[in-house]
């Protein structure tokens, strides 16, 4: 074999090894550039506060455990004093009105489904007379999906307390999973808690039974 032929063989081997590497590096660079050009800046919450200070009065309910008797039934529900996303004062107190308190997290797919189902239902069916439904936006996290909750709940028809950054309200009600519904009777005592989505019809039926209808 001639010297020229011997010299050619190694460079052909190096070229074939280099090709996938060069293609890979080029690919990463192009993708990074495309990603950079197609990614906008983040100013999603338009200056609206997604969490606000809350003050909680009363004893925290024990954490709910599904499949067992709820120890919170018969306990006095904690009272929450806070505000909505836009700063309007809003309190959830034991005011003699039977109520359902719905705790929601913006990132939870089950909460998203719940809101999708309840919004038109409430628009079409008035809340049972003499009862109330309020909600609490809690467990807010800018890094998690469907942020900001104020935008997600823009069309939500129920008054909503913006929980604080520590999700204090969820702990006060013994939340174990999202969505979480706490039913409170006219006497301010917890009548039941539900973890997970609640069908709109069921929500109304329970409210009616609490109100003694």
Partner 1 sequence: MNPAFVNRFFGIVTLVIILADIGLAVLLLGRRRSPLLQSASDWLDDMLGGSTLWIASAIALGAMVGSLFYSEVIGFNPCHLCWYQRIVWYPMVIVLPIAAARKDPRISTYALPLVVVGWGIAAYHYTIQNFPSLDAGACDPNVPCTLRWVWELGFISIPMMSLAGLTLLGLLLLWARKSAGQTHE
The residues of the shown chain that bind partner 1, judged by CB under 8 A, are 16-17, 19-20, 24, 27, 31-32, 34-36, 38-40, 42, 105, 107-111, 113, 139, 143-145, 167, 170, 175-180, 195-197
Q: Distance from first CA to last CA of the chain, Å, rounded?
A: 102
Nearer to partner 1, 109 or 120 (CB): 109
Q: What is the closest distance, in whole angstroms, from the C-beta atom of residue 119 to partner 1 in the complex? A: 18
Contact of 183 with 206, CB cutoff 8 Å: yes
- Cα 89 to its chain centre, rounded Å, is 21
Q: What is the closest distance, in whole angstroms, from the C-beta atom of residue 204 to partner 1 in the complex? A: 19
Nearer to partner 1, 51 or 131 (CB): 51
Q: What is the closest distance, in whole angstroms, from the C-beta atom of residue 23 to partner 1 in the complex? A: 9
88 burial via Cβ count (<10 Å: 0-12, 13-18, 19+): exposed
* Residue 133 host element (H or E): strand 132-137
Q: What is the closest distance, in whole angstroms, from the C-beta atom of residue 149 to partner 1 in the complex? A: 14
Nearer to partner 1, 40 or 126 (CB): 40
Nearer to partner 1, 6 or 35 (CB): 35
Dist. CA 130–CA 37, nearest whole Å: 55
Q: Which two tokens stand for residue 17?
A: 């090894």
**116: DSSP letter:** H
CB atoms under 10 Å from CB of 105, counted, come to 26
Nearer to partner 1, 21 or 124 (CB): 21
Residue 182, beta-bridge partner list: 101, 193
Q: What is the closest distance, in whole angstroms, from the C-beta atom of residue 187 to partner 1 in the complex? A: 28
């Amino acid at each position: 074999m001639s010297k020229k032929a011997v010299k050619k063989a190694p460079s052909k081997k190096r070229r074939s090894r280099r090709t996938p590497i060069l293609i890979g590096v080029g690919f990463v660079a192009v993708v990074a550039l495309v990603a950079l050009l197609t990614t906008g800046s983040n100013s999603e919450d338009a200056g609206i506060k997604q969490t606000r200070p809350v003050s909680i009065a009363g004893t925290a309910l024990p954490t709910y455990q599904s499949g067992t008797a709820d120890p919170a039934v018969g306990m006095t529900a904690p009272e929450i004093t806070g505000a909505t996303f836009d700063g309007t004062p809003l309190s959830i107190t034991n005011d003699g009105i039977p109520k359902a308190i719905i705790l929601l997290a913006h990132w939870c797919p089950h909460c998203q489904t719940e809101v999708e189902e309840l919004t038109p239902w409430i628009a079409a069916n008035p809340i049972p007379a003499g009862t109330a439904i309020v909600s609490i936006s809690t467990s807010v996290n800018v890094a998690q999906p469907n942020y900001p909750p104020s935008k997600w709940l823009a069309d939500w028809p129920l008054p909503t307390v913006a929980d604080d950054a520590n999700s204090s309200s969820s702990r006060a009600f013994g939340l174990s999973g999202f969505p979480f519904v706490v039913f409170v009777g006219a006497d301010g005592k917890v009548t039941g808690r539900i973890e997970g989505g609640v069908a709109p019809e069921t929500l109304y039926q329970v409210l009616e039974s609490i109100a003694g209808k």
